[in-house]
Amino acid sequence: MKKDESFPRKHRLRLKRDFSRLRSIGKSISNDCLVLVYIDNDLGYCRVATTIKKNFGKAFLRNRFKRFVREIFRKNKMYFDGGYDLLIIPRKKLADTFKEIRFHEFERYFIDLLEKAEIWNK
């Protein structure tokens, strides 16, 4: 059986009302490098988004961060419990070291945060 590693539009959080709902009543959890804001969405699948301030760094670093988040989500979406809307925000500490960080290190930070929020089941 082949696992689905696509990233279709339905798995992207895009609408302003969804972001507003997430920010107003969503739960927040963080570690040294990332902040995760999440809420149950009753859809049966997860949706993900990132927000990054311009002071995170140059455009190529902000884009690299978004690519990392999307790739981790795409490769591991079958391990999420239920349906959640997820917003991933980098912290200032990550901005200082993100140029040198490797994908697998970042993946560990991200998955640790999901496990801490109890929405990850592997």
Q: Which domains does the chain have, with CATH numbers?
A: 11-111 (3.30.230.10)
The reported pTM is: 0.90
Q: What is the pLDDT of residue 95?
A: 87
Q: Indicate the DSSP class of residue 57.
A: -
Residue-level pLDDT at 122: 67
Cβ(3)–Cβ(84) below 8 Å: no
- Give the pair of three-digit tokens for residue 38: 């999440």
Averaged pLDDT in 10-residue chunks for the chain of 122 residues: 72 90 92 93 90 93 94 87 90 89 94 89 72
Q: List 34's β-bridge partners, or say none.
A: 90
Q: State whether residue 6 is helix, strand or coil.
A: coil
